[in-house]
A and B are shown apart, each in its own frame.
Chain A
């Protein structure tokens, strides 16, 4: 099957390791990945800040570029950005041409772990990582996209990986896009508690499915001079893979 890679601006700008890991995992499971070059960003930085007018071009560019290659699915390494693709249906509803395109886009778009679990029905991606880790659940992926199972199932099956439950997993890390820049005072209080919670688990690795949250939490770890390793879930699922370990489930649990 042909899969368009929705790279997200943050991966394009900062984190080639995340994009590469995702592509390698997808290819391993038989996806023929392609990448539309004109894609940039889902538009959340401006849209969520109230600059809805300034977001119009960004959203339309993203729709057009992601649909520019005929494919079966569109997959991205961020629950938040993929959710925004879904929300284009709402935000472009007044534009007859783009609301139709937005519908097509939404129906094809999946967050990376969601795609592995719900489309490919993978529960064990064959990875192995000998470490103690905890998972930060991103708000948009959980509450807006509604995916609260896939990353946990996949991580639970990684050989050698000990997953520690994160206290206050339901609380936001204080990223919130432009919020982190515009309201640093409040954001700091939030990310501080998140760092403390991660530390309390004794985990060596903090895993997430939204690199922006990890950039925030990891950034605060660095500022506070506390040790942690940051890994996107794609990097974890791309570690020491043995295909003989791969397992599929016929019926994934309800969202």
Chain B
């Protein structure tokens, strides 16, 4: 799939999302439920703000010394008998894995949910190998795969946009003949996928955290599918973004605790595993382990104001609090990384031409920044992207640029602002609506405005605007009168 999920323009996607009432309700319901669970689990832990500082410190330290940690990790994987491949681009990673699959004559691949393998479009490339069968084993990813590779809408809940009836229809194509009860459908998926697990000759996983000082891979799932993927096939491939390291098991333990609370309001994800290549004497687990460490544009964030986005632990909390995500859903973003994290990361990985709309699709409410367990200043990074696009790359329309320059001038030059205060009431006369308003105490100056030209049209497309007061009735004049009367009283005494 790559980072981009669509070629549809941003505004069209937003309008499509607007029509999808089921999706909006599902997202809102999920956000509200997650809000309570997440906050309760953090409160129970106690000292959450100090935990966040610790989480931030761990991730910042790793990013700061990234080459050193990668080197240490790679050495330790190799010491355990595994292989490490450093992939600069998505195609390098895909090429390595398909070559490996061909060499080993792999015919049955099981995968556990991994954003990064979606990013490099691995599934579809592997399926080009003749005779290859590949199965996504995370329940949600399995549903998406079975529904003709539908797009995920959330990094933690990929099928948020589907209801049980739709899922039942998808499963019926696979031979399911039960009702739409989620437990029944999940049991069907269990049996269906179990057969694949037992025949699989290659397992592919992502990586939550790579442990530098031991060469182990930390994976977390609630379903246990990653563990089966790492236990049964003889060959295991791990694909990881190059930033997903931690110094030792201890820091992985800290972040796993924060991840589970932030992602789903649990104290720990049901299965947290720390694993590597099979050790002599053990019967299962990979006899051959390959770890692919991927850059694919991540290094473009290094040494820039955007470096902190590499701290992200993919918990999805920023999506779960985002009021924009709430309404446009995952598909609206057009990136496999949606929400605030996606709006910051996608332009770095995929460029401004493709994802330049995303940083503007935020009211900068700061809910993402507030909830982020590793303290990424997400909304500030969105402003930073805007600055790069406007001030440095000058990507805006010339007319918008002129207007914004004028706004800058007007808000920075007292005489100009005074002039505006003199004439704004008069100037808006032609726009005053004849229609009465239902709102009290907002339109106190001879009417309100229901249509305005130029960039103000965006405002009146949605809502009415107040009319400015006459210059004799504005706040400056009121204060002047107030001061004079105060002065008079003072002198009167």
Contact partner of A220 among B11, B407, B463, CB < 8 A? B463
Asked if B169 is at the interface (CB within 8 A of a chain A CB), the reply is no
Chain B residues lying within 8 Å of A174, measured Cβ to Cβ, are: 323, 363
Q: With A190-B324, A223-B464 as known contacts, state yes or no: A181 contacts B370, CB within 8 Å.
A: no
B296 within 8 A of A: no
Would you call B475 and A12 a contact (CB within 8 A)? yes
Q: Is the CB of A54 within 8 A of B408?
A: yes
Q: B261 at the A/B interface (Cβ < 8 Å)?
A: no
Please report the C-alpha to C-alpha distance between residue A176 and residue B458 in the assembled complex, in whole angstroms: 13
Stretch of A35-43, A96-104, A120-128, A244-252 with 4 or more beta carbons under 8 angstroms from chain B = A35-43
Shortest CB-to-CB span from B47 to chain A, Å, is: 14
Question: How close is B180's CB to chain A, nearest CB, in angstroms?
Answer: 28
CA–CA, A178 to B404, complex, Å?
10
Q: Is A57 an interface residue (CB 8 A)?
A: yes
Given the interface contacts A12-B475, A171-B323, A218-B442, does A51 sit within 8 Å of B411 by beta carbon? Answer: no
A28 at the binding interface (Cβ < 8 Å): no
B15 touching A185, Cβ below 8 Å: yes
Please give, as numbers and ranges, the residues of chain A lying within 8 Å of B478 by CB-CB distance: 16, 19-20
B96 is an interface residue with CB less than 8 A from chain A: no
Chain A CB within 10 Å, residue with most, of B404, B443, B462: B462
Across the interface, do B475 and A182 meet the contact criterion of CB distance under 8 Å?
Answer: no
Q: Contact mask A210-236 → B, CB, 8 Å, 1/0?
A: 000011101111110111111100010
**Cβ-based interface call for B366 (8 A):** yes
Q: How far is the CA of A77 from the CA of B33 in the complex (A)?
A: 34
Bound Cα distance from A229 to B32, whole angstroms? 28
For B474, give its contact among A12, A140, A172 (CB under 8 Å): A12
Measured CB to CB, the closest approach of chain A to B288, in angstroms, equals: 48
- Bound form: Cα–Cα A47–B432 in Å: 30
Q: Mark A111-144, 1 if CB is under 8 A from B, else 0.
A: 0000000000000000000000000000110011
Count how many pairs of residues, one from A and one from B, have CB atoms less than 8 Å apart in the complex: 246
> CB of A201 within 8 A of chain B?
no
Report if A19-B459 is in contact (Cβ < 8 Å); known contacts: A179-B360, A222-B442: no
Say whether B439 contacts A230, CB under 8 Å: yes
Q: With CB as the reference atom, state the residue of chain A lying closest to B321.
A: A170
User: How far, in angstroms, from A227 to B360 measured CA to CA in the complex?
Assistant: 32
B458 close to A180 (CB less than 8 A): yes
Contacting residues, chain B, for A193 (C-beta < 8 A): 28, 326-327
Is there an interface contact between A13 and B439, defined as CB atoms closer than 8 Å? no
Query: In the bound complex, do residue A186 and residue B327 qualify as a contact, i.e. CB atoms below 8 Å apart?
Result: yes
A11 at the interface (CB under 8 A from B): yes
Answer yes or no: A187 CB below 8 A from chain B CBs: yes
Among A9, A48, A140, A144, the residue within 8 A (CB) of B411 is: A9
Complex CA distance for A14 and B32, rounded to whole angstroms: 35
If the complex has contacts A61-B413, A171-B326, A222-B439, are A12 and B367 also in contact, measured as CB distance less than 8 A? no
B474's nearest neighbour on chain A, judged by CB, is A16
Report B296-330 CB contacts with A as 1/0, cut-off 8 Å. Answer: 00000000000000000000000001011011100
A213 to B324, CA, bound (A): 16
Assuming the A-B contacts A40-B411, A45-B411, A49-B386, are A17 and B367 also in contact, with contact meaning beta carbons closer than 8 angstroms in the complex?
no
B46 interface contact, C-beta 8 A: no
- Residue interface bits B358-374, CB-to-A below 8 A is 1, else 0: 00111111110110000
Q: Do B366 and A140 have beta carbons less than 8 Å apart?
A: yes
CA distance A174 to B148 in the complex (A): 35
B440 within 8 A of A: yes
Given A46-B411, A140-B366, decide whether A221 and B439 contact each other with a Cβ distance below 8 A.
yes
Size category, A interface: 35 or more
Q: Contacts A11-B475, A41-B411: A228 and B439 contacting too (C-beta < 8 A)?
A: yes
Interface string of B375-389 (1 = CB under 8 A from A): 000000001011111
Determine how close the nearest CB of chain B comes to the CB of A133; give it in whole angstroms.
12
Residue A23 at the B interface, CB < 8 A?
yes
Of the listed stretches B51-59, B104-112, B448-456, name the one at the interface; the rest are far from the partner chain: B448-456
Interface size classification for chain B? 35 or more
Q: Please give, as numbers and ranges, the residues of chain A lying within 8 Å of B420 by CB-CB distance.
A: 13
Distance from A249 Cβ to chain B, minimum over Cβ atoms (Å)? 25
Residues of B within 8 A of A9 (CB): 411, 417
CB distance from A193 to the nearest CB of B (A): 7
Q: Is A253 an interface residue (CB 8 A)?
A: no
Measured in the bound complex, the distance between the Cα atoms of B417 and A215 in whole Å is: 21
- A52 pairs with B15, CB closer than 8 A: no
B263 to chain A, nearest CB (A): 18
- Is A55 interfacial (CB 8 A cutoff)? yes
When the two chains form their complex, are residues A5 and B479 in contact, meaning their CB atoms are under 8 A apart?
yes
B471 CB to nearest chain A CB (Å): 11
Contact residues in A for B468 (Cβ distance below 8 Å): 13-14
Known: A143-B366, A179-B364. A184 touches B459 (CB 8 A): yes
Q: A51-B404, A139-B365, A177-B364 are in contact. Are A190 and B441 (CB under 8 A)?
A: no
- Whether A187 pairs with B363 at a CB distance below 8 angstroms is yes
Q: Which residue of A lies closest to B455 (CB)?
A: A181
CB distance from A161 to the nearest CB of B (A): 15
The answer to whether A191 has its CB under 8 Å from any CB of chain B is yes
- A11 CB to closest chain B CB, in angstroms? 5
* Interface residue B390 (Cβ < 8 Å from any Cβ of A): yes
Whether the pair B475, A231 counts as a contact (CB closer than 8 A) is no
A140 to B328, CA, bound (A): 22
State in angstroms the CA–CA spacing of A46 and B466 once bound together: 21
Closest 3 CB pairs of A and B: A176-B363, A50-B386, A54-B408
